[in-house]
Amino acid sequence: MRNKLTLILLAALSFIIPTVRADIIMPFSYVTTPFYPLFLIVELILFWLLANKVFSIKIGFWKSLLIVAVANIVTSLIGTFIPSYRDFTGPILIAFILSVIVEFIVFLLFFIKKDVKRINLFWISGIVNIVSYLILSAIFLIFG
């Protein structure tokens, strides 16, 4: 029952668009609104697969969902204080670096009492954000 409530809460949070954006750089618009849950799902699957299959960090799916949702909420909150630009060629690199660092810190906080190599969490954060920003770039190229 607890897992169902957690899932419902996280799903509801992912649809509160002004608060929960997928990345620091993603500006709020009607065009990108339907894609926000996509980022959460993509990052969740990537995080879980990388942690369990590549880096041998044993973590359940539901805990992965919680970690990814919290990481995205934190990066989104930080993103509300960074101005968005129509031409975001320069700011996207800064936002990417900030996203990787912030999500890495959130990951560290969740694994603080576990014997997990920090570099592995950093790699997971980097890979997840690379894929997320590639999807974001594709959306902006398609929908301009």
Task: Quote the pTM value.
Answer: 0.74
81 burial class (0-12, 13-18, 19+ CB within 10 angstroms)?
exposed
Rounded Cα distance, 61 and 120, in Å: 18
pLDDT in tens, the chain (144 residues): 556 666 565 555 454 433 334 555 554 444 555 667 888 899 999 999 999 999 999 999 999 999 998 998 888 777 766 665 544 555 677 778 888 999 999 999 999 888 899 999 999 999 999 998 888 778 777 766
Element (DSSP H or E) covering residue 114: none
